[in-house]
Amino acid sequence: MGPMVWISALICIFGLLVKFILIIKEVYEKERYLLSYITVRHSLRSIIAWLIPFYPRSTRMRPVYYGISYLFHVLLFLLPVFLMSHIVLINESFNLSWPAMNDTAADILTIGVIFALVFFVLRRRFIPDVRFLTSFMDYILILMVLLPFVTGFLAYHQVILYKWIVIAHVLSGEVLLIVIPFSRFSHMITAPLTRAYTGSEFGNIRHARDW
Amino acid sequence: MKQWKILMMFILALATSGIAFSQGEQERLNTLAFEMPRRPGAVFSHDDHTQTTEISDDCAICHHVYANKTLVPDESSEDNACSDCHSLQPDRKNSISLVNAFHKRCKECHYDLGKGPVLCGECHIKK
């Protein structure tokens, strides 16, 4: 495997780490009062509550959107990690190995992810409130997630232009990894921080729940 | 009616040519040691490979012999299958699993020479 995979994976991980450190630093410098009431217990309580599907009330109010969104996020991580072809490559490079998902199951779930992304686009086009909050960049970001899944699907089935599809698959995956720390995708680390803050404010000050 | 007949003949001709095409199958490895193969057997022409200038009848490039974990030069093991020594999971006797034995041997040479396939679907071509 070429060096770009490792470079992009490292940019992703270190980018997120640096971002995390910068956020914490900024809190220390500008919002010190936060530290007076933020607690581990209330933070974890809120993060965990929001991880349980359909537990927070607001998620039950929009069950279709929330259900699709929840499944999408789970698959987004599970699919690439437990895909047999990816494990074969990791195994060749590091002699590491773990159980793989069945290929047919992965195939069907990939179609699921693609449909979820199409759903997100339609939602942004047709629901007025969301449309108002949507910028062109949001569609570009959705496209960036869509590409690795579509090209991966086409490559597995060896439909057309196999070589080019695989190259597109690898490149789009690498671009996605690199973009994560510099875009809204970094909500993978900022979302739990938001929960920690909200959870602590509700739990520790208002003595209420935030779910 | 006549046009229909011609059309049918045409479709029939296409269909049969498809069958004729798939009968000219490429040579494939179908290693039985993989009990439940998850990919179509890899395309591999033994003759074409032994005749390339890079290999030129040096059978031990692929059919190697090891003693005490060190390669024995000038000896070859073409009477053994790779799976005789490489098992599905790496173990203490041999740290290279069967899949990796194949993949490393095939891909590294192709990669180094800049010739021959390195992508999954170029070897595991769909039937």
- CATH of residue B46's domain is 3.90.10.10
Output the pTM of the full model.
Answer: 0.85
B107/chain A closest Cα distance in angstroms: 10
Residue B7 within any structural domain of the chain: no
ipTM: 0.74
Number of domains forming the structure of chain B:
1
Contact state of A163 with B122 under an 8 Å Cβ cutoff: yes
Which of B100, B120, B125 is nearest residue A85 as measured by Cβ atoms?
B120
Q: For position A1, what pLDDT does the model report?
A: 61
Q: Which residue has the higher pLDDT, B121 or A203?
A: B121
Which of A91, A157, A163 is nearest residue B119 as measured by Cβ atoms?
A163
Q: For position B33, what pLDDT does the model report?
A: 77
- Smallest CA–CA distance from A169 into chain B, residue: B119
Confirm or reject CATH 1.20.950 for domain A3-205, answering yes or no.
Answer: yes
Contact (CB, 8 A) for A145 and A117: yes
B8/chain A closest Cα distance in angstroms: 27
Q: Which residue has the higher pLDDT, B74 or A9?
A: A9
Give the helix ranges, DSSP H, for A31-161. 40-51, 57-61, 63-82, 84-94, 103-126, 128-133, 136-157
Residues of A in contact with B36 (CB under 8 A): none
pLDDT class for B95, splitting at 50, 70, 90? confident
What backbone torsions phi and psi does residue B97 show, to the nearest 5 degrees? -70, 165
- Quick one: tokens of A204? 């520790």
Which of A92, A158, A166 is nearest residue B100 as measured by Cβ atoms?
A92
pLDDT class for B5, splitting at 50, 70, 90? low
Can you name the residues that pair with B71 across neighbouring β-strands? B66
Residues of B in contact with A88 (CB under 8 A): 99, 103
Residue B13 within any structural domain of the chain: no
A116/chain B closest Cα distance in angstroms: 27
Contact state of A166 with B121 under an 8 Å Cβ cutoff: yes
CB pairs under 8 A between A and B: 28
CA distance linking residue A196 with residue A48, whole number of Å: 10
- Smallest CA–CA distance from B90 into chain A, residue: A95
Residue B73 within any structural domain of the chain: yes
A127/chain B closest Cα distance in angstroms: 41
Residue B10 within any structural domain of the chain: no
Q: Which region among A93-97, A121-125, B10-14, B70-74 has the lowest average model confidence (pLDDT)?
A: B10-14
Q: Which residue is associated with the tokens 């195994």? A: A91
Domain extent at residue B66: 41-123
Contact state of A158 with B125 under an 8 Å Cβ cutoff: yes
DSSP, res A202: I
